[in-house]
């Protein structure tokens, strides 16, 4: 029996995690959840999963949810409802939980993740922005506290799966696959007039808004290179990004003898979420299977880092190290928010990342407070 906390239970990853719980009622118990704006969904989740603790980040939404819960006669065991950063941390360290799924979006997840590690919780990590900003702290604290970090990002789960049963000392390189997003094959001039609706049309995956936009600019792949650097302790030059437009090969590793081991499957986040919950077991998961005859072919391309320069900038940020990956992430978070708000153009996202990286003086080995301050300064502009 596993007891879980979910940071971001109302999001794309959070709701798919709850689908997994539905299929494994005797093995998984939801103890604590969090959301921000979607209080109707939180109310439904409380009715269905009876968590004991619920955080609604925005205080006014937390008050509204408390009223709804109190007035609902069908909710017999009323959960404790908390808010703000303090509330997120309470969910992360909830004493009854063994594992915390970090499915919140953005670097707001840094403190709750570190607190969960300090409380001895295993982490099912979807919230890549946190690891990009504070990977040096999170990985060393996880080792110190003997906590496991299970990747949920599909590529990193594929790498993790491909590493099973093989000696780590023989790992030669990581092959990180990318779909290429909706604008694969286009040149810069063709992207000048891209709208929010265009950027949200991902060819293969259905995901939250920010990660979908990040996938279209390849900033997501940049974040994933940095994420892989921390999760698997490999140098950035040992991480090769390969475009695989059908999203069937979720990533691979190459060993010293030349063998490449990959994980393949249909594009469905429920597999990596379930693997993180049940590792090393592989219980049944309903869904489509890959049919090689229907698929016909799997193709490969080199990423175009001139058009999609966010990927090249991510390599630059991780090579520079220190505070620079955090700056890369924060600049991207800010630029995506500005693009969504109609304040900057689509190409302006990568331009803003570039400008911000160039003007930042790298801080070596920044502490947690410094990382958060640097991130918040960039967000506040
Ligand atoms: P969504 O936008 O769908 O969900 C985000 C969740 O975080 C929601 O529960 C939302 O609450 C909550 N949230 C948003 N902002 C805040 C805030 N300021 N304070 C507290 N809670 C907040 O995101 P995804 O599920 O797509 O992504 C979650 C993470 O997983 C991201 O880091 C993403 O990169 C990563 N990931 C996602 C994949 C996917 O397939 N979706 C694939 C691989 C990685 P509410 O909705 O109630 O406002
Ligand atoms: Mg991914």
pLDDT of 205: 84
Tokens 């969090």 belong to which residue? 34
Ligand 2 geometric centre to CA of 69 (Å) = 35
Asked whether residue 381 carries a pLDDT value surpassing 90, the answer given is no
Residues 80-130: tens digit of each pLDDT: 999 999 999 999 999 999 999 999 999 999 999 999 999 999 999 999 999
Ligand nearest to the CA of 85: 1
Q: What is the pTM of this model?
A: 0.98
Ligand 2 geometric centre to CA of 277 (Å) = 18
pLDDT of 170: 98
Please give the Cα distance from 187 to 308 (Å, whole number). 9
Atom 15, ligand 1: which residue's CA is nearest?
Answer: 105
Helix (H) or strand (E) holding 55: strand 53-56
The mean pLDDT value for 286-309 works out to 97
- The pairing of beta strand 260-264 with beta strand 2-7: unpaired
Residues 207-232: tens digit of each pLDDT: 999 999 999 999 999 999 999 999 99
Average pLDDT, rounded, for the chain: 97
123 touches ligand 1 (CB under 6 Å): no
Please identify, by atom number, the ligand 1 atom nearest to the C-alpha of residue 128. Answer: 32
- Residue 304's Cα: distance from chain center in Å? 23
Atom 32, ligand 1: which residue's CA is nearest?
Answer: 127
Ligand 1 geometric centre to CA of 104 (Å) = 4
310 and 219 Cβ atoms separated by less than 8 Å: yes
Two structure tokens written together for 338: 């500005």
104 touches ligand 1 (CB under 6 Å): yes
Ligand nearest to the CA of 87: 1
29 touches ligand 1 (CB under 6 Å): no
For helices 346-359 and 324-340, the axis angle rounded to 10 degrees is 150
Please identify, by atom number, the ligand 1 atom nearest to the C-alpha of residue 214. Answer: 34
- The pairing of beta strand 28-35 with beta strand 53-56: parallel
Please give the Cα distance from 363 to 332 (Å, whole number). 19
Residues 47-83: tens digit of each pLDDT: 999 999 999 999 999 999 999 999 999 999 999 999 9
Got the DSSP string for 295-355?
A: H-----B---TTTSHHHHHHHHHHHH-TTHHHHHHHHHHHHHHHHHTTSS-HHHHHHHHHH
The mean pLDDT value for 157-173 works out to 98
13 touches ligand 1 (CB under 6 Å): yes
């Amino acid at each position: 029996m596993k007891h879980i906390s979910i940071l971001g239970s109302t999001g794309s990853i959070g709701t798919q995690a709850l689908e997994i719980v539905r299929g494994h009622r005797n093995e998984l118990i939801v103890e604590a959840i969090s959301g921000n704006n979607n209080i109707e969904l939180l109310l439904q989740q409380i009715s269905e999963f009876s968590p004991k603790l619920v955080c609604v980040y925005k205080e006014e939404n937390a008050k509204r949810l408390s009223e709804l819960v109190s007035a609902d006669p069908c909710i017999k065991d009323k959960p404790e409802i908390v808010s703000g950063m303090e509330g997120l941390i309470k969910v992360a360290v909830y004493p009854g939980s063994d594992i915390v799924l970090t499915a919140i979006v953005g670097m707001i997840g840094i403190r709750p993740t570190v607190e969960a590690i300090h409380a001895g919780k295993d982490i099912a990590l979807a919230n890549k922005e946190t690891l990009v900003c504070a990977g040096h702290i999170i990985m060393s604290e996880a080792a110190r506290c003997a906590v496991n970090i299970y990747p949920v990002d599909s590529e990193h789960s594929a790498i993790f799966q491909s590493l099973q049963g093989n000696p780590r000392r023989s790992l030669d390189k990581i092959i990180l696959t990318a779909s290429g997003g909706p604008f694969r094959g286009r040149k810069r001039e063709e992207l000048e007039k891209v709208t929010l609706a265009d950027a949200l049309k991902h060819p293969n995956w259905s995901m939250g808004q920010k990660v979908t936009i990040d996938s279209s600019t390849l900033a997501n792949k940049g974040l994933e290179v940095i994420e892989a650097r921390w999760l698997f302790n490999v140098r950035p030059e040992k991480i090769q990004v390969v475009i695989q437009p059908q999203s069937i090969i979720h990533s691979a590793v190459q060993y010293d003898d030349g063998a490449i081991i990959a994980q393949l499957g249909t594009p469905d986040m429920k597999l990596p979420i379930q693997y993180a919950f049940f590792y090393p077991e592989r219980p049944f998961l309903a869904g489509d299977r890959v049919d090689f005859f229907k698929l016909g072919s799997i193709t490969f391309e080199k990423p175009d880092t001139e058009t999609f320069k966010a990927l090249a900038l991510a390599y630059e940020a991780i090579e520079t190290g220190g505070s620079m990956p955090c700056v890369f992430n924060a600049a991207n978070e800010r630029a995506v928010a500005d693009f969504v708000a109609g304040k900057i153009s689509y190409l302006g996202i990568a331009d803003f990342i570039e400008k911000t990286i160039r003007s930042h003086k790298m801080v070596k080995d920044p502490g947690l407070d410094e990382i958060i301050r640097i991130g918040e300064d960039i967000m506040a502009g």
